[in-house]
Structure 1
Amino acid sequence: MKMNGRRYGIAAALAVLLLAALWTLRPGLTPAEAEPTPEEIAARIHKSAIVIDTHVDIPSFFGSALYDPGLRNAYPVQVDLPRMREGGLDAAFFIVYVSQTERGAVGYAEAASEALAKFAAIRRMTDIQYKDEIGLALDAADVRRLHGEGKRIALIGIENGYSVAKEPALLDFYYDLGARYFGLVHNGHNDLSDSAQPQEKFADKPNEEGGEHDGLSELGRAMVARANDLGLMVDVSHASRAAALDAIAASRAPVIASHSSVHALRPHPRNMTDEEMLALKEKGGVIQIVAFDEYLHDVPEEKKAARRDLAVSLGLTSLDAFFSADAETKSKFVAGVAELDAKWPRATVATLADHIDYAVKLIGIDHVGIASDFQGGGGIEGWSHAGETANVTIELVRRGYDEEQIAKLWGGNQLRVMEAAEKARKAK
């Protein structure tokens, strides 16, 4: 009996193993679910996270037949609604940029006119042309609401405080038009701030070390205070190191660097030093690492000179000129740039991720974001237009960032700063 019982036990065990084996061989079933690929994880992230690009430039005729944001446009357009949908880009700060010119009544008037044209163009897109597809967000709650409705989201940032001249009341006016961050300066000192890339013809004093104001001017400090009062985020990209540190210290709300990269990896005046990034973190702010070739790696002077010469030879000496050029001229420029990129390759999404990695290790995942600077010189191999946005996410997944971390990088951190600026607002 003892032997028979043992045989019975062995037979039962074998039967269980056989049934298990047969179960795993049923059609459509596998012993274990396959690990999702980085592409699958990225697709999942883009369905749930709010993906925000904090810097997209536009020409003054944005919203016209020359640049219809509802259509898939040819180069030099890098951001339109079809590409935003294709790349999983939910939101973008469209930029009211004004060029730096001679300070004085004429220059101030021209800057204000240029700014108003861009405000009007953005509002035309969101309020008239494509109001069923994209909405204007005026606060973080609007961003979340519009995302929940399945719409693309437009936000507005100002680049170059030259557009406010010496009139703080203009800042109130621009806020009422929808501006939600205020970039103090661009290339060339202005009345508010020293620039990271000064141009002597746009400075009241020669650009000796120390700049014109040794950082922020008193008017600049007053503008930072007024921005805080309005609930308008202060942006220190393009500011000199002294001006950036001044603005961070002066602001009572967190500050952003809307499109900068890491100076330790690429020593460029436009990139932020460890000191600046640590100060930004201390104030609760965010640096948005930007996909701008020259800020991510060294670009030979020979290539830069050849690209400038190509643009000049084709009459493409401004952003508006690029957009209004005929198809043949654009084609020649694209072909010429492709030849230069073949000889001297552009930075890649991996290079961008290197800068993100460095910033995250230095100041933490809560203080880093991502920007393109599309249509203002941005664009790298793998992220050359909004339709390729998911490629950045895929690279971050491959590097071990989890879904929560990537959601912070792509927009969560920016929304936190936006909410903090809103809380700092004082009644007018």
Structure 2
Amino acid sequence: MKKPLIACLSAVLALQAAAQTDDAALIAKAHRIAHVIKMDTHNDIDPANFTATCNYTQRLTTQVNLPKMIEGGMDVSFMIVYVEQGPLTPAGYDDAYKQAIAKFEAIHRLTEQIAPDKFGLALTPKDVVALHKQAKKAVVIGVENGYPIGTDVARVKEFYDRGARYLSMAHNGASQLADSNTGETEGYLYNNGLSAEGREVVAEMNRLGMMVDLSHPAKGANLEAIRLSKAPVIASHSGVRALANVPRNMDDEQLLALKKSGGVIQINGVNSFLKPTSMERFAALKKLHAEFAPYMPKESSSAVRACPVEGVDGRVGRKGGGAPGHELPGMEDLPADKRALAEQRIAELNAKYPPTPRATVKDFVDEIDYAVKKIGVDHVGIASDFDGGGGIEGWDSAAEAFNVTLELVRRGYNEKQIAKLWGGNLLRVWGEDEKVARKLEKRAR
């Protein structure tokens, strides 16, 4: 009986050795591909982290900053001018505009004053390539939510002149331009579509060469935008609804329409869009957030928090989206008594509605695989939504980007395909949008 047992053990050890050899080969292959331009098309920012004394040259607790980009080999960050949806009133538009300008100015401060030797603002695809050759990190500006435009379509050009190269028509909640994905549960303002102003904005973006972003608006609004746009469109940070049935993800009809436009979907590394929580848990978390939101410091309020440098006073890097069972954005900034109460409420919620296990890099690449099979590798890209809710197990900051490349290699993608996914496709679409703008300009003469 000993010989068969020894034989079995030998076979197991041989398989383990073979697996380790395969892993080593895959890792080596992934490292050889590391030179491709790696672009993340959605990173949220806080202007408080763009000052002379507190900025992205430091290893902050933010998921994106220069040390983490260097560690993960990330080359390009689309930094986002995001303003939460508010009232559709003159006062609301005015406040939203001021918030947007503060973020534009913060990004320019980083690239022009704080660290121009390390970061450069890219206004064209050629700029991205040039900055990469200079060993600088490229920064591109995207606008998430057209709300700050207000009722003045001329602000689209103002934002373009300030560096914006894509704009989404809405966020969570209908804007003055378009219905939102939240309309599926909250109702629509424009019959699941664009407003008259929204249609003007699409035309203006085409005229300027600004990419139309489909992430966040309602399905009907997206399909209308695709029909109206004379240039390819993008989804800067979206998921696949066939694998995760949430309104923020795109169904097959939208994916096929996006492909027909020549566009690209940047698959989103957000836990809740890869492994959705139950509707009951989601509703309970939303209610909990509303309860504690008044006690959370306002974004960019440097008076209420010190510069969030990792390792200072025990600070650690942000965990994207919160660990399962602990999803309350901003809870770390609550006053001590409110934080203790919030943790108690979360424990009670976990007992009633158990959390879903956290998504992994494998889950993320499953969505890439699905999109590639459905619409082709030329129409798929990568986004994280870091510092805005993004982050999964294995890709929780820019420092872990290699894990995505490794999983793509493991799935059989070659270097050319990986280069397309990590940024090549987005650069192509951006360039095509510029060509359309030039053609429209010639016709207008």
| TM-score, normalising length: structure 2 | 0.80
- Paired residue secondary structure (2:55): coil
Counterpart selection for 2:159 from 151, 174, 186: 174
Counterpart position of 1:404? 416
Distance in 1 separating the partners of 2:64 and 2:73:
12
- The 3 A distance-change label for structure 1 pair 125 and 311 is farther
- Paired residue secondary structure (1:61): helix
Q: Report the structure number with the largest CA radius of gyration.
A: 1
1:81-110 superposed Cα distances (whole Å, 9 cap, x missing partner) = 110010011001000001111111111111
Counterpart position of 1:370? 382
Q: Does 1:137 align with 2:125?
A: no
Distance in 2 separating the partners of 1:226 and 1:358:
33
Counterpart selection for 1:225 from 203, 214, 229: 203
Q: Does the CA contact (< 8 Å) of 2:64 and 2:386 recur in 1? A: yes
Counterpart position of 1:79? 64
Counterpart position of 2:75? 90
Q: Does the CA contact (< 8 Å) of 2:226 and 2:233 recur in 1? A: yes
Distance in 2 separating the partners of 1:95 and 1:138:
14
- Paired residue secondary structure (2:212): strand
Question: What is the 5 A alignment of 1:10-409?
Answer: 37-47=25-35, 49-64=36-51, 67-74=54-61, 77-198=62-183, 207-208=186-187, 211-300=189-278, 301-302=280-281, 305=284, 309=288, 315-316=295-296, 319-320=299-300, 325=305, 337-338=322-323, 340=325, 344-409=356-421
Deviation at 1:340, TM superposition (A): 2.5
Distance in 2 separating the partners of 1:175 and 1:272:
27
Greater Cα shift, 128-137 or 302-311: 302-311
Q: Does the CA contact (< 8 Å) of 1:59 and 1:323 recur in 2? A: no
The share of aligned pairs that are identical, in percent, is 46
1:98-135 superposed Cα distances (whole Å, 9 cap, x missing partner) = 11111111111111100100000000000111100110
Deviation at 1:60, TM superposition (A): 3.2
1:217-267 superposed Cα distances (whole Å, 9 cap, x missing partner) = 121111000000001000010010000000011100000000000000001
Q: Unpaired segments of 5 or more residues in structure 2? A: 1-20, 327-353
* Aligned length in residues: 385
RMSD of Structure 2 on Structure 1 (CA): 2.9
- The 3 A distance-change label for structure 1 pair 169 and 383 is same
Q: Does the CA contact (< 8 Å) of 2:63 and 2:317 recur in 1? A: no
Q: Does the CA contact (< 8 Å) of 1:78 and 1:375 recur in 2? A: yes
Distance in 2 separating the partners of 1:99 and 1:131:
29
Distance in 1 separating the partners of 2:364 and 2:233:
22
Greater Cα shift, 215-224 or 55-64: 55-64
Distance in 1 separating the partners of 2:86 and 2:427:
33
Deviation at 1:150, TM superposition (A): 1.0
Matched to 1:378, the amino acid is G
Q: Does the CA contact (< 8 Å) of 1:193 and 1:213 recur in 2? A: no
- The 3 A distance-change label for structure 1 pair 162 and 401 is same
Q: Does the CA contact (< 8 Å) of 1:288 and 1:371 recur in 2? A: yes
- The 3 A distance-change label for structure 1 pair 151 and 221 is same
Q: Unpaired segments of 5 or more residues in structure 1? A: 1-32, 201-206
Deviation at 1:367, TM superposition (A): 0.1
Q: Does the CA contact (< 8 Å) of 1:66 and 1:324 recur in 2? A: no
Distance in 1 separating the partners of 2:80 and 2:30:
27
